[in-house]
Amino acid sequence: MSAAPPYPQKRTCPYQPPAGYREIGEQGPVLKVTLFDGREAWMVTGYKESREILTHPNLSSLRTHPDFPIVAPRFRSQIARSLALIAMDPPVHDTYRRFLNPHFSLKQVRAMRPELEKLVSGYVDTIIDHGAPADLVPLLAVPLPSLVICRHLGVPYEDHDFFQDASGKVMLGTEEESATAAQELVDYIDALVTEQIKTPSDGLLGRLVRERVVPGDLGHDELVSIALVLLIAAHETTSSSLALGVITLLEHPEQLALLQQDPERLPGAVEELLRYIATTDLVATRIAKGDIEIAGHRIREGEGVLVSGTLANRDQGVHHDPDTFDILREDTHHVTFGFGIHQCLGQNLARLELEIAFKELFSRLPNLRLATPVDELPILGAGTVQRVLSLPVEW
């Protein structure tokens, strides 16, 4: 393999890294990779090094920097380069997080459990009524996180088909599709925020209007940008993780049996799934705003930095037998939700959705199995969110 191997690379298995990543990892924990446009960027693949660099003061998230590393053409749009929270540094980033953290706290999310359990039960009812074979992508993996974030934000769920399609194109479409879809989403949310300012609802958008927009802490456009990120992030990653998690459990029947024998193992199983499948291949795309010394390398000011969750989560120096899926594993720690100030805002909600969905699905359909061989499942994604387009099952 060349000194700067190509990145990203496509997966051939929904829950396993591309074959070439093994060689990339062996060159790590810090190395140069070649992006689609021929430019080189640093990639951090070690678990310890990932946590170290994600808290380094010389690492910046500002995507407006002319040398910021772009991993796919769709991320060149102006909207993608100016996303709230994701593409921000302190102090503005920290201010936004302070406004939002209480609404995604562990206490707040735990209070949502009864509602989520009722929702999931209803979706599994629909799957059973549909009969085998049933496609879990449109029947569970896509609608559940969409409905949850709609209710949490106060977004009309009747519009979910539109923003599901648009958010998918933003994350996985061509450059033109992504830019167009992002603008359509911005226009939609802009109109929604305008209505919320007139008549605030009980959802998060309405509360932010009352708590932050009315006193002047947040402007109209700032709230639009925040809502855009929350809507896309909460839907895309959780939806993909749910589908990939089901596939992984079905492809490891001995692990699924352990889970079904003792549902108390579910939280640990969710952590192991988050470590193992790494739905978001990259946990960070950054630019150095000053020199960084790490693992014997000097990353110079203005150089791009990528942090690979996929490889950090399978670091042999940290995880015993890292390529083995083991729900009883004690070393389940991972960087799937990032690390440091940009750690995923919605991680508590994502964990709860996955836990409830797996529990309901596998307890009520204990004989669930794939209706299509895993190597024939249509998958999409390289370098961003890994997605399975359909998931036919029978029981």
pTM of the model as a whole? 0.94
**If you search the block for the tokens 């992030």, which residue do you land on?**
233
As beta bridge partners, residue 388 has 379
Cα(379)–Cα(386) distance, integer angstroms: 7
* Superfamily for the 21-389 domain: Cytochrome P450 (1.10.630.10)
Among candidate residues 281, 282, 259, 261, the one with its CA nearest the CA of residue 271: 259
Q: Where are the domains of the chain?
A: 21-389
Cα(374)–Cα(366) distance, integer angstroms: 19
Give the pLDDT of the chain (395 residues) as one tens digit per residue. 458 999 988 888 888 998 888 889 989 899 999 999 999 999 999 999 999 999 999 999 999 999 999 988 888 888 888 889 999 999 999 999 999 999 999 999 999 999 999 999 999 999 999 999 999 999 999 999 989 998 999 888 888 888 778 877 777 777 888 888 889 989 999 999 999 989 988 899 999 999 999 999 999 999 999 998 998 888 888 999 999 999 999 999 999 999 999 999 999 999 999 999 988 889 999 999 999 999 999 999 999 999 999 999 999 999 999 999 999 999 999 999 999 999 999 999 999 999 999 999 999 999 999 999 999 999 876 556 788 999 999 99
